[in-house]
Amino acid sequence: MFKFRITQRSILKWLKRTGIGLVVLFLLFLLLNWLFPLPAGIEYSAIITDNKDEVINAYLTSDEKWRMKTELEEISPLLRKTIIAKEDKYFYLHPGVNPLAVTRAIFKNLFRMKRTSGASTITMQVARALEPKKRNIISKIVEMFRAFQLEWRYSKDEILQMYLNLVPYGGNIEGVKAASLLYFKKNPDHLSLAEITALSIIPNRPSSLVMGKNNDRIIEERNRWLKKFATDKVFTQKEIEDALAEPLNATRGVVPHYLPHLSYKLKKYGGDLIKTNIDLNTQLKTEKLVEDYIRSQRLKNIKNAAIVIIDNKTRKVITYLGSSGFKDTLDGGQVNGANAVRQPGSTLKPLLYALCFDEGLLTPKTVISDVAVNYQGYSPENYDEKFNGYVTIEYALEHSLNIPAVKSLKQLGHEKLIQKLIRCNFRQVQKDQRKLGLSMILGGCGTTLEELTGLFSSFANEGKYIPPAYLQSDTGQRSTAVISPAACYMINEILSKVNRPDFPLNWAATERMPKIAWKTGTSYGRRDAWSIGYNKNYTVGVWVGNFSGVGVADLSGANIATPLLFKIFNTIDYDSDEEWFKQPGDCDLRQVCSETGMVPSHHCTSLTSDYFIPLISPNQTCNNWQEVMIRPDEKISYCKSCVPENGYKKKWYKITEPDMQSWFEENRIVYLKIPEHNPDCELIFKGNAPYITSPANGTEYLISKKNPEPLQLVCKTANDVSKVYWYINNKYYKTVDAGEKQFFVPEEGPVKISCTDDKGRNRDIKITVKYVNL
């Protein structure tokens, strides 16, 4: 008989050897962990959700899998409890490998001489999913090592999350989120016990248990596991009975593909879960409305539209349409029109005038001349190719007149407008800023519907620009003061008037329509129609046109884009009782001369009310009248140098600029003209010399050698001028009446053109002439 004496010394020796062995094993694990790191991160399908966190779009992974990431907060207690009870009830107790289960499996498999029992824990199944291998003993050992690595790096909840994201559910579906969405059309945290159990049995036999095809067999297997849960007292009897009674009508569905344009745009920025602020209900209503509207316009060869809607109270983008139909192949429906760079037409005019108000250059009732102008060869025209003479800034904006806008931009300086647009994230304007000039206010620059809608939302926010929030994570955006609250209010008052020429024809559905301010625009060649409107609740941007760039005669912002804008407002803000914008403290009201918009003098008899910004708006007294000494028969005027001692009288005359004199005469409008100056006066007058409007100074003219066309000589003169004298290359050419047009055929090369009025005032310009074979 052998006797074993266990002494304290032998116990210590054993513990020491065991400790050394464990340390060696641990160091060996660290070495192997360093030599054979875990596989790279998991690629998930990009998921796009709406403002209620419901999935509205998703994209396959690069290996064509629907593998959607289940977030920790989406793992409900019921889901966690069910999966652990079925797959690995000791999950939270073992270190990645369950030694008891491994031992039991070894004995069973050896005893029966075939594989009858596995010992895979949830962690080991994650290791197998991360690094699929042929199933054998070596692979199992590698799985165990990888399981230890996973437990070393991640928490138990993170490992469970990885398992739920990688477990196969048949076909190209991986992960419980993809499965619950495709089979049950709900998020995993909304699954019932019966649904979770049904899903949990598919990974064991994904080819024979196909949801929607083998539902009877799935129910049978599901109920077997539910009864096992009842035996193990995992759930209450009531919960088991309810689950057993629940039918299974699931079939494989499809992933929703709403919001295709914005989803694709946001997907390019990366991320597994892209949470947007889109209101799906508003999105779908707008999509249907736009689809129907464009269908009615196709006979006019107008095929597309894009819409952006911003909630002005939160600055969130709640609707985004890149085209009238993503699947439309007639005009490139997959093109994102909301993000496409287009010519903005007249849509930047409200910002221009607001900046002029803030700079103290203009007020709404400031009078400006709408007549032909020429800025170094640039001669803008109005939309209707007509001139209106004297107009107020208010009228110019209401009627979207081009020439007053160009004049105002000339006063302001186009660089200031460019800098404001850059601060509002106008990317193409920033890129082209050195190329831009006065024409930008009429559409001679590149913008997008996204940018314009964001800019107009600042008019609903007292002139402060906050970048539109496309994502739920877009919080704390910095506010940029674009214009003052006073200038913003003045623009809002002008743009909210209904009696405007850009009010759509035959529109009668305004009885319950919410009050809005809006601005239209039509690009050169009628390729783009814009209408952007806003009130306190929403800013809506509308673009209508063709992605092919084809212009259409009927296409205009007023008659095509604005009806769609009104329809959208009637849909999303119908019968709104929201109050209108209130007059801010820095905006006041005053009486001004209706003929000039200036502070009235004692000569002003017609007054009107005008908004102004105290200490900033122009405060010059009206000075459009002058006293002139004239002969009693009112045919000759005198200056102080030639006025006789007696035989004259004094009379007040309204000052009329040379360009307005020409316009009055061309349109045969009678005005009070200062009589011709005393021809015997020898004084050379100071003042405005004739302004040569044609040819344009500094311009190169190409003239056909075969059929040379003459150049036109036109000038504008002061009110007291009756004759002008033309000189070509310092040689006398002709004497004509003021305002009379003349023609001449120039010589090739540099040409100097001079014009002298009958007061001795002179102006010179230079042009270059080339004769070519045309």
CA distance 309 to 278: 9
Q: Nearest CA to 746 among 761, 733, 760, 763?
A: 733
Confidence at residue 460, expressed as pLDDT on a 0 to 100 scale = 96
Residue 294 has pLDDT above 70, yes or no: yes
Residue 685 has pLDDT above 70, yes or no: no
Residue 169 has pLDDT above 80, yes or no: yes
Query: Where is pLDDT greater, at 537 or 662?
Result: 537
Which whole-number Å values give the CA distances from 612 to 146, 353, 357, 390, 609, in the listed order? 75, 13, 8, 20, 10
Query: Where is pLDDT greater, at 462 or 25?
Result: 462
Give the number of other Cβ atoms within 10 Å of residue 102's Cβ.
Answer: 18
Strand duo 636-638 + 676-677: pairing? parallel
Amino acid found at 154? Y
Query: What would the DSSP string read from start to end of 697-716?
Result: TT-EEEEESSSPPPEEEEEE
Q: CB–CB of 549/529 below 8 Å?
A: no
Which whole-number Å values give the CA distances from 395 to 348, 389, 543, 557, in the listed order? 16, 12, 25, 18
Q: CB–CB of 588/610 below 8 Å?
A: no
CA distance 621 to 590: 13
Confidence at residue 199, expressed as pLDDT on a 0 to 100 scale = 92
In this prediction, residues 339-353 reach a mean pLDDT of: 97
CA distance 452 to 462: 16
In this prediction, residues 455-470 reach a mean pLDDT of: 96
- How would you class 453 by CB atoms within 10 Å of its CB: exposed for 0-12, middle for 13-18, buried for 19 or more? buried
- What is the percent of the chain where pLDDT is above 90? 55
Residue 2 has pLDDT above 50, yes or no: no
Amino acid found at 300? K
Amino acid found at 167? V
Please report how many Cα atoms fall inside a 13 Å half-sphere around the Cα of residue 24, on the Cβ side.
6
Considering the chain, what is the average pLDDT of its residues? Answer: 88
28-75, pLDDT tens digit by residue?
A: 767 776 777 777 678 899 999 999 999 999 999 999 999 999 888 889
CA distance 62 to 628: 85
Q: CB–CB of 315/289 below 8 Å?
A: no
498-509, pLDDT tens digit by residue?
A: 888 878 776 665
In this prediction, residues 550-555 reach a mean pLDDT of: 92
Confidence at residue 125, expressed as pLDDT on a 0 to 100 scale = 87
Confidence at residue 487, expressed as pLDDT on a 0 to 100 scale = 97
Confidence at residue 677, expressed as pLDDT on a 0 to 100 scale = 80
378-412, pLDDT tens digit by residue?
A: 889 998 889 999 999 999 999 999 999 999 999 99
Residue 117 has pLDDT above 50, yes or no: no
> Residue 540's beta-bridge partner residues?
309, 533
Residue 3 has pLDDT above 60, yes or no: no
Q: CB–CB of 224/204 below 8 Å?
A: no
Q: How confident is the model at residue 512 (pLDDT cuts 50, 70, 90)?
A: low
Residue 103 has pLDDT above 50, yes or no: yes
Query: Where is pLDDT greater, at 249 or 106?
Result: 249
- What is the percent of the chain where pLDDT is above 70? 93
Q: CB–CB of 469/343 below 8 Å?
A: no
Confidence at residue 441, expressed as pLDDT on a 0 to 100 scale = 96
CA distance 541 to 290: 13
In this prediction, residues 296-323 reach a mean pLDDT of: 96
Confidence at residue 116, expressed as pLDDT on a 0 to 100 scale = 45
Give the number of other Cβ atoms within 10 Å of residue 338's Cβ.
Answer: 24
Range from 197-206, 615-624, 670-679 carrying the lowest mean pLDDT: 670-679
Q: How confident is the model at residue 304 (pLDDT cuts 50, 70, 90)?
A: very high
Range from 109-118, 286-295, 443-452 carrying the lowest mean pLDDT: 109-118
> Residue 589's beta-bridge partner residues?
611
CA distance 691 to 718: 9
Confidence at residue 1, expressed as pLDDT on a 0 to 100 scale = 46
Confidence at residue 110, expressed as pLDDT on a 0 to 100 scale = 61
CA distance 313 to 279: 14
In sequence order, the 6+-apart residues with CB closer than 8 A to the CB of 343 are 443, 444, 445, 446, 447, 523, 524, 527, 528
Residue 536 has pLDDT above 80, yes or no: yes
CA distance 279 to 307: 14
CA distance 482 to 420: 7
Which whole-number Å values give the CA distances from 593 to 365, 366, 491, 726, in the listed order? 9, 9, 21, 38
Confidence at residue 72, expressed as pLDDT on a 0 to 100 scale = 87
- How would you class 171 by CB atoms within 10 Å of its CB: exposed for 0-12, middle for 13-18, buried for 19 or more? middle
- How would you class 774 by CB atoms within 10 Å of its CB: exposed for 0-12, middle for 13-18, buried for 19 or more? exposed
- Does the reported pTM lie above 0.75? yes
Residue 568 has pLDDT above 70, yes or no: yes
CA distance 295 to 575: 27
Residue 113 has pLDDT above 70, yes or no: no
